[in-house]
Every structure is written in structure tokens, then in C-alpha cells.
């Protein structure tokens, strides 16, 4: 009798709670992308580099996205996303376990509030720069852009019709110390210096019928021990302002954009990046993406032209083969490399070519 009562109670409890469990869901998603690359003129002797690269068209990742419907227009959400290098199996973003995103938030009828490590102003670029995080792309010119995420952040996101607004404030943007541009050793939260390593990022987008515009403001402050140029005090900062837009044409889209950068430090400078970009369906299974970037350093001849292109062949809705190329034309003392990682020589030209495969899941 007691056992029967226990069984009945457990069944009743499960029946009571089952609707609540049915309201939540978790999705596993990701990208695996790798390519073989050739890059020339990596020294004055004209040496070349051949290598297997971990992100030919898009950085590889695996993520978990969950949501729970709380009723009345409220939802609890989380995202845990880690980047990894398929060629070595190592973690990206300075070795963080969930370096791409790590957020939990509450979605309401008045917007969503999020906490954790999150993107800052990157979403303002998606509509107009179709190379994105391609091996040869805007990250070769400004390595901050593909690493525009911030630790210890509070974020707010709101959508009204075709308008989207997002703001992020970080109390200490980067707690990792090793791992390249994704780890700059600027954790902030210092006693007596509340500005150290803080970051404020705001952006707004409007997507109309066949066209759209975006604007963004992103300001990050330095701090003691930072490994990001010479922003070694909180009075120094890096400020980027972005304006861009796009229009749909035929079976594709044309975009234009501009990023103005103000670097305030012991060695201040001003720089701008402008571009015109195209994505086009050439045939049902063949797509072309191309962008022409222009880098201009104010009061200097250290500029660069940077055309890049990518041809994609769709094997399926999830898998594609691609060929991508970039040509960095450095002027003056500019020494930008075509992939942002390989050695380069000031004032010279550098060609990069890569063949790869990408699979989404």
C-alpha cells in the first residue's frame, strides 16, 4: 500500500510539473570551418607561408542556447558559446571555456537584460560588410573588430518594429592575459580607479524593405598591465564610431560603411576604415562575396588598399566549399598583413589565397 501511494504521488508530481518543463528548450549549434592558406611576401626576401588555418570563412564554434517561457511575455534566456581551432583542437578567445559568449538574461515586453561576456558593437557591421570574420577581412586591418566582446558586462537589447537598439557596459572588459588580441589583460574592477578597463558600446539598426542603416559608438578605456597597444592608464581610450548601410539589388546586396577611430594615449592617432561590399548569387549553388577596404591614417601616408573576395559552392544547406583571396597594398610605412597574423614588410604588397570547407550544425 505504501509503495502504491509513493508511486501515485510521484506520478501526480510529474504530471503537475510536466507543463513547466515543456516550456523550456535548449539548442546545440555550431560551425566547423578550416582551410589551407598560401601567403606571400612575409619578408624582404619574398618568402611565403603555407598553413592550415582554423577559420577560412568563419571562426569555428559550438554553442548552447536555451530559453524558458515564463508567461506574460517574459522569458529566461542563456547562451554559452565556445570558439575552437579545428587544426589544433585548442580553445580560442584566450583559452576561455566559453569565450565567444557566456550570458544569462531576462526577456520582457520592454526589452532584454543580459549579464556576462557578450558582443559589443559588432552587430552594426553585419548588414554591410559581407566578408565578416573571413580569414582575409576587416580583422586584418583592425584586430579588435573580430574580438569585440567584453567580460563582466551588463547588456540591454530592444526591438521595436524594424528598429533594433543594443547597449553594453563592461565593468572590466578582458580578464584573460594570454592568447593574442582576444586576451588583453584588462580585468578592471580596481579599487580607487573605477574607469580602468571599462567599456561602453551602443548601436542602433533599422532594416526597411530591401534596405537598412546602422550606427554604433564603442569606447574602451585602458588600465594598468593592459596588452593592447599603449592604453596603460584609464585616462587613455580607444573610440570607434561606425556608420553603414545596405540595399538589396537583383539576387544580392550592396553595402557601404565607415569606421572612425580615435586612439587617445601617449602616442595618439586617428584612423578610418571605409568599404564597399557586395554579396551576389551567381547561380543557385554559387555565391560571390567581395569587399574593397580603404585604410586611412590621418596626417600620414601610412595607408592601405585591401580588396578581398570569396566564392562559395553550396554542397547542401549546411556545407559549402569556398575559395577566398585578399591583396594587401601597403603604402608608406604601413605593414598590415593580409590575414592579420602573418609577418609582413612595410610598404609592400601581400597576396593571400585559401581553399576551405565549412559545415554548420
DSSP state of 127: T
Residues sharing a CB contact under 8 Å with residue 229, sequence separation 6 or more, in sequence order? 238, 263, 265
Q: What is the pLDDT of residue 39?
A: 96
User: Mind listing the pLDDT tens digit for each residue in 57-99?
Assistant: 999 999 999 999 999 999 999 999 999 999 899 999 988 999 9
Those residues of the chain that have pLDDT short of 70 are 1-22
pTM of structure: 0.89
C-alpha cell of residue 153: 558586462
pLDDT the model gives residue 22: 43
Structure confidence at residue 5 (pLDDT) = 40
Phi then psi dihedrals of residue 254, to 5 deg:
-115, 135
d(CA 307, CA 312): 17
With H, G, I as helix, E, B as strand and everything else as coil, classify residue 146: helix
Q: Where are the domains of the chain?
A: 28-360
pLDDT tens-digit series, residues 153-174: 999 999 999 999 999 999 999 9
Predicted pLDDT at 228: 84
**CB within 8 Å of 49: residues ≥ 6 apart:** 37, 38, 39, 42, 342
* Confidence at residue 47, expressed as pLDDT on a 0 to 100 scale: 81
pLDDT at residue 161, as a whole number = 94
- Please report where in the chains the cell 572612425 appears, as a residue: 260
Question: What is the pLDDT, as a whole number, of residue 319?
Answer: 98
Which CB contacts under 8 angstroms, 24+ apart, belong to 12-19? none
- Position 50 scores a pLDDT of 84
Q: CA-CA distance, 137 to 134, in Å (whole number)?
A: 5
What's residue 9's pLDDT? 39
The pLDDT score that the predictor gives to residue 12 is 42
Model confidence over 323-353: pLDDT tens digits? 999 999 999 999 999 999 999 999 999 999 9
Looking at 2.40.50.140, 1.10.3720.10, 2.40.160.10, 3.50.50.60, the CATH number of the domain 28-360 comes to 2.40.160.10
Q: What stretches of 9-148 adopt beta strand conformation (E)?
A: 24-39, 49-53, 61-71, 74-85, 90-91, 101-108, 111-119
Amino acid at each position: 500500500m505504501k509503495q502504491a501511494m509513493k508511486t501515485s504521488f510521484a506520478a501526480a508530481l510529474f504530471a503537475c510539473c510536466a507543463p513547466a518543463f515543456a516550456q523550456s528548450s535548449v539548442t546545440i549549434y555550431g560551425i566547423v570551418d578550416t582551410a589551407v592558406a598560401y601567403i606571400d611576401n612575409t619578408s624582404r626576401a619574398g618568402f611565403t607561408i603555407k598553413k592550415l588555418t582554423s577559420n577560412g570563412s568563419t571562426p569555428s564554434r559550438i554553442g548552447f542556447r536555451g530559453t524558458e517561457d515564463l508567461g506574460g511575455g517574459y522569458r529566461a534566456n542563456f547562451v554559452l558559446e565556445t570558439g575552437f581551432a579545428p587544426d589544433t583542437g585548442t580553445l580560442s578567445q584566450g583559452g576561455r571555456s566559453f569565450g565567444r559568449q557566456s550570458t544569462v538574461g531576462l526577456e520582457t515586453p520592454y526589452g532584454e537584460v543580459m549579464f556576462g561576456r557578450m558582443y559589443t558593437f559588432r552587430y552594426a557591421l553585419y548588414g554591410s560588410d559581407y566578408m565578416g570574420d573571413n580569414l582575409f577581412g576587416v580583422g586584418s586591418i583592425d584586430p579588435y573588430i573580430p574580438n569585440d566582446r567584453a567580460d563582466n558586462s551588463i547588456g540591454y537589447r530592444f526591438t521595436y518594429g524594424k528598429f533594433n537598439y543594443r547597449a553594453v557596459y563592461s565593468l572590466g572588459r578582458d580578464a584573460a592575459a594570454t592568447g593574442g588580441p582576444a586576451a588583453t589583460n584588462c580585468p578592471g574592477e580596481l579599487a580607487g580607479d573605477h574607469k580602468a578597463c571599462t567599456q561602453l558600446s551602443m548601436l542602433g539598426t533599422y532594416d526597411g524593405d530591401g534596405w537598412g542603416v546602422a550606427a554604433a559608438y564603442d569606447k574602451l578605456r585602458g588600465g594598468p598591465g593592459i596588452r593592447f597597444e599603449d592604453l596603460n592608464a584609464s585616462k587613455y581610450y580607444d573610440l570607434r564610431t561606425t556608420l553603414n548601410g545596405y540595399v538589396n539589388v537583383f539576387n544580392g546586396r550592396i553595402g557601404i560603411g565607415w569606421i572612425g577611430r580615435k586612439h587617445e594615449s601617449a602616442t595618439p592617432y586617428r584612423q578610418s576604415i571605409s568599404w564597399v561590399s557586395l554579396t551576389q548569387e551567381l547561380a543557385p549553388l554559387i555565391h560571390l562575396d567581395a569587399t574593397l577596404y580603404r585604410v586611412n591614417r590621418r596626417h600620414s601616408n601610412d595607408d592601405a588598399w585591401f580588396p578581398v573576395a570569396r566564392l562559395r559552392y553550396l554542397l547542401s544547406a549546411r556545407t559549402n566549399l569556398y575559395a577566398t583571396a585578399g591583396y594587401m597594398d601597403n603604402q608608406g610605412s604601413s605593414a598590415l598583413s593580409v590575414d592579420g597574423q602573418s609577418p609582413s614588410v612595410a610598404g609592400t604588397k601581400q597576396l593571400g589565397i585559401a581553399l576551405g570547407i565549412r559545415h554548420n550544425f
